[in-house]
Structure 1
Amino acid sequence: MKKLLKSSALVLSLTLLGSTSLAGCSSSKDGAGTEASKTVEGAKKVEGVKKEGFPIVEQPITLTMMAQDKGLSDWNQMQVLKDMEKLTNIKFQYKNARDDSFVTKKNLVFASGDLPDVFYGADLTPAEQVTYGTQGALIPLEGLIESYAPNLKKVLDEHPDIRKSITAPDGHIYALPNIDLTAVWWQGPMWYNGKFLKALGMEVPKTTDELYTYLKRVKVEDPNGNGKKDEVPLSSVKLKDLRQYFLGFWGMYGSDIYSDKEGKVHYAPMEEGYKGYLTFMNKLWNEDLLDHETFSQTNDQKKAKGKNNQIGLVADWFAAFTYGGDPNNDNPLMTPVKSEVPGSPVYAKHPGLSSNGTFAITKNNKSPEASMRWADYQYGYEGATLFSQGPENVLWKYKDKAAHEKEWLPVPKEGVTRDDYKGLLTPNVGIVPPGINLPDVTKGLRSDFEMWLDKQNQEKLVPIAKAPFPNLYLTKEEQAEASAILSDLNKYVEQMEAKFVTGQEALSNWDKYKAQVKKMGGDRIVELNQAAYDRWNKASK
């Protein structure tokens, strides 16, 4: 379970600015969806595709699928996919690739032109969608959504910002999203060691000064009680696991590009708040309050210290993943702390889209309408339940079907966790698939810990939270310019962060550093994203 959820967390985490959505799409032109529908349906019209009801097609059809495979089970044997074949009359031949080689194989498939009929859980980046969509390898989907995807259409009509965030600059939608309107976390949060807080008689810190005091006391007062000075007040892996959370203490919503409440775009590594963050982290480093193995250790090495009851504060998806044991409420979720920056703290909230590139239909597909209906099932309650929880009466059953209330059943296989067994039933474990997270899907299945966590989120994070930046697109020209800038700029910023924190570079050289960031194109990155964000805000709803 831990391994799977860790993988999911990494998928849901922010990636480097240059490889994902950096900027905004322009508005769809009037009639763009209608025209796309005519193009697709006119060229590849398939008889016998139902717009509602099942099966989707009267006569069975076979399509090919390329998906990101976690290697948990043979997709031909997954019960969810077997059930979908019976329900829809659509059979898939799988041309999957393991997750660690998927990107390479995906690139080879596009380069060769030997395309599958659909991509699933493919993490198609905005740049890939624009490139292969405009080249014709991926077909426009907005017309198909209008006519063959009632579940997704309803969501997009109710949430026009999501429609804008999956629409490329040419007005077309080339890939479907994973939608999660209930999510709060974008990256894994941070957790205090509850035993340490209790031993020190401390409340959860509310300011950076109180946080410093807690970390200092962890260092010198032996809260694990073993008589050794082996406590590690704050541990990390290259600061990537805590950076976004900590930047919020200095008023920044994101670790790279973000917008403030007035709609102004910022590049965090150039902000004065970033200097405050570096100054604080340098102070922790100098006093040995930040793990001196931060820039050299692996995640497993960090976790080993947590399980040895040495760490006072750490980032992870759940506290138990570092501190050990089952998920519980013994280790408090960190309350973002206030610094000297007015209006702090803030929190970078999940934007509602886990990915905008989970499912796409290629030009080789002879049944795009049927493929869209197959995918659309996952944006409704029944399909979301099937793909996320598995078939009824295997791991769960209805307690009150009319109210959508469920209850868990014993795991059929002894010695296997529920999440591991779920990976034998459905492909939606460890990858980001098309579909939607609905509260009713887990109604009755949520543990006491999960309900406690919901309360922690509502009390500590939601009141100060805002999505840093929408899922947006750059035009091809903008993408080319931004990629060229960021290939060097990202490396420089990352190297200088480590040097400032460890004292290899004096903070008195901040102005020199900032000037170099500007010289390398920092201001231009802001300009590109500001223009794109302005387009996104003006896009037709």
Structure 2
Amino acid sequence: MRKRWGRNVIMTMIASSLMLAGCSSGGTTNESAPEVSKNDVHTTGFPIVDQPVNLKMFTRIAPVNGPFKEMPVFQDYEKLSHVKVEFIEAPTDGFQEKKNLLFASNELPDALFRSGLSPLEAIRYGSGGQLIPLEELIDEYAPNLKKLMEEYPEIRAGITTPEGHIYTIPGIVTLSAARTDKKWINQMWLDKLNLEVPETTEELYNVLLAFRDGDPNGNGKQDELPMTARVGLAVVSAMSGSFGLDSQLGYNINIENDKVSIWMGSDQNKEMLMYLNKLYKEKLLDQEIFSHTEAQYLAKQGSGNTGFFFDQTNNNFLSIKDQYTGIAPLEGPQGDRLQSQALPIARDFGAFAITSVNPYPEVTMRWIDYFYSDEGSTLLRFGREGEHYEIKDGIPYYTEDFLKDISNQAKITPYAGGGAPHLISEQVASFINPPQVQEAQQKLDPFMPKVRYAAPMFDEETAQEVNILRNDIDKYYEEQSTKFIVGALGFDKWEQFQSTLKKMRIEELEKLYQDAYDKMQK
């Protein structure tokens, strides 16, 4: 199977041979690269090396970004570190194909930045010798990252292969508010209709009825949108905690007493889908929830005509932010009240990796480690003090002049567009974590899991098996759940649904996750 994969991609490479022409001069092929020994690399302070060195890094560039070479973070960090980075930029559209081509051709850069490497890719390219193990480099040259891994052991567990190697570094988010979707409700409508904030799923149902029928926007028309969510099964993720359903190990998994349980065929899931079907049938849940675009969803947030929705921050409804308030997870019919929609601290897997052609792995590790400090993350996210941000009570804030054009922010930082290898802490999150968002997060905090386990690192053979099983199971679950919610499939078919999941070997998939979890505990 691996040989076939290689042939297919190599054929693509031949057809697209000029796409990555600049990569081949990186690493060991650069004869003019200065000699830098381990003794030449400063383990603390700046510059990292006295004699400047050059590195080439492959990266994803989001549509909102400007060129990386024009970002103040990389201009200023080059002067500070004596490390000049040439970025080989690949647009988000087609990024995966270009990344595949990179490895298939073996025309490697020195490192991959904001690379979105999957666990399977990390295993494949690491065991194949194209990515180097990083665990010893982290111990010696990455004090910031090492400290975070010691403080949050689940980070190491989530990025270490079964053989004990670390081939990629994630984006790390210690700020809870940057790992959750808040539950936003229209407080102005509640006040107008003399309603209390709902505490249970049944109370939410009654509130949504009032939003639908009570004309809270006062225009005499029944045009209010009681509840919406992102397209697809995002509403399942948002509501699952009220039915005792968690999202551990990057999947639809509960862990109780060290036992892994995939809950897709469970009675709790049936109860949740029946609840969502009730909301949809009575037009309390957005009728476009399985068809609208991301842009349309964001527009609904900002319209002021929506009663209840989910999002990480308030950026999309800033002009009417006083209309909304964040609420706690709703208590479900069995007394469950969990904030299940929370990402792990190692949020962005595979954000950074070093290749085997890199002549300066120690330099490169020290270079990336800076962004796992509050100081380095501030530079990456905010740019230059005075020009782009100012410090208030020890916290960086974008200046008012800079924010007059919100598109400016995305052009100066690679964090806009997601997936950048760096630390998101309370210190550097003023833009995405203003007081209203902090208050909304405080409502969720008592119901957050103590540990959120990231997706496990499987060996390549097991990862292939997991992928094969999940491709069929996930597609079937999404199709059938959608039909259950919209009423195209009756719940008298539930036993048939459960039986089909078993035929698709969901119990074998569960065992693979159980084995991976057990290894994490050793």
What's the TM-score bracket when you normalise by the shorter of the two chains?
A: 0.7 to 0.9
Match of 2:423 in 1: 436
Match of 1:421 in 2: 408
Instruction: Name the structure, 1 or 2, with higher relative contact order (CA <8 Å, separation 6+).
Output: 1
Matches within 5 A, 1:8-407: 48-71=40-63, 72-184=65-177, 186-254=179-247, 256-319=251-314, 321=316, 324-326=317-319, 328-398=321-391, 404-406=394-396
Q: Does 1:411 align with 2:411?
A: no
CA–CA distance in 1 between the matches of 2:230 and 2:389? 38
Q: Aligned to 2:84, what secondary structure does the other structure show?
A: strand
The structure 2 residue matched to 1:509, chosen from 493, 498, 501, is 493
> Does the 8 A contact of 1:378 with 1:384 survive in 2?
yes
CA–CA distance in 1 between the matches of 2:223 and 2:197? 22
Across the two proteins, how many residue pairs are aligned to each other?
A: 484
Match of 2:28 in 1: none
CA–CA distance in 2 between the matches of 1:306 and 1:391? 32
Match of 2:521 in 1: 537
The structure 2 residue matched to 1:497, chosen from 459, 474, 481, is 481
Q: Aligned to 1:326, what secondary structure does the other structure show?
A: helix
Mean CA deviation greater in 152-161 or 140-149: 152-161
CA–CA distance in 2 between the matches of 1:422 and 1:455? 24
In the TM superposition, what whole-angstrom CA distance separates every residue of 1:258-285 from its partner, at most 9, and x where no partner exists?
Answer: 2334222122312211001111111112
In the TM superposition, what whole-angstrom CA distance separates every residue of 1:147-203 from its partner, at most 9, and x where no partner exists?
Answer: 111221222223322222211111111011211112245453331122221221111
Q: Aligned to 2:239, what secondary structure does the other structure show?
A: helix
Match of 1:525 in 2: 509
In the TM superposition, what whole-angstrom CA distance separates every residue of 1:433-476 from its partner, at most 9, and x where no partner exists?
Answer: 2221233345xx579x8223223322x21111115533421121
Match of 2:445 in 1: 462
CA–CA distance in 2 between the matches of 1:224 and 1:184? 30
In the TM superposition, what whole-angstrom CA distance separates every residue of 1:380-404 from its partner, at most 9, and x where no partner exists?
Answer: 232122112212222223457xxx4
In the TM superposition, what whole-angstrom CA distance separates every residue of 1:17-44 from its partner, at most 9, and x where no partner exists?
Answer: xxxxxxxxxxxxxxxxxxxxxxxxxx99
> Does the 8 A contact of 1:49 with 1:57 survive in 2?
yes
Give the superposition deviation at 1:305: 4.3
Give the superposition deviation at 1:407: 5.6
CA–CA distance in 2 between the matches of 1:367 and 1:306? 47
Match of 1:26 in 2: none
- Structure 1: which 5+ runs fail to align? 1-42
Q: Aligned to 2:171, what secondary structure does the other structure show?
A: strand
The structure 2 residue matched to 1:483, chosen from 467, 483, 489, is 467
Give the superposition deviation at 1:212: 0.9
> Does the 8 A contact of 2:57 with 2:111 survive in 1?
yes
**Percent identity, aligned pairs only?**
33
CA distance 1:341–1:116, shift in 2 (3 Å): same
CA–CA distance in 2 between the matches of 1:508 and 1:236? 27
In angstroms, what is the RMSD of aligned CA positions?
2.4
| Structure 2 letter corresponding to 1:331 | Y
Q: Following TM superposition, where does structure 1 have runs of at least 4 consecutive aligned residues deviating by more than 6 angstroms?
A: none
In the TM superposition, what whole-angstrom CA distance separates every residue of 1:193-245 from its partner, at most 9, and x where no partner exists?
Answer: 22221221111111111111111122222211111122222223444332212
CA distance 1:301–1:147, shift in 2 (3 Å): closer
Q: Aligned to 1:373, what secondary structure does the other structure show?
A: helix
CA distance 1:424–1:252, shift in 2 (3 Å): same
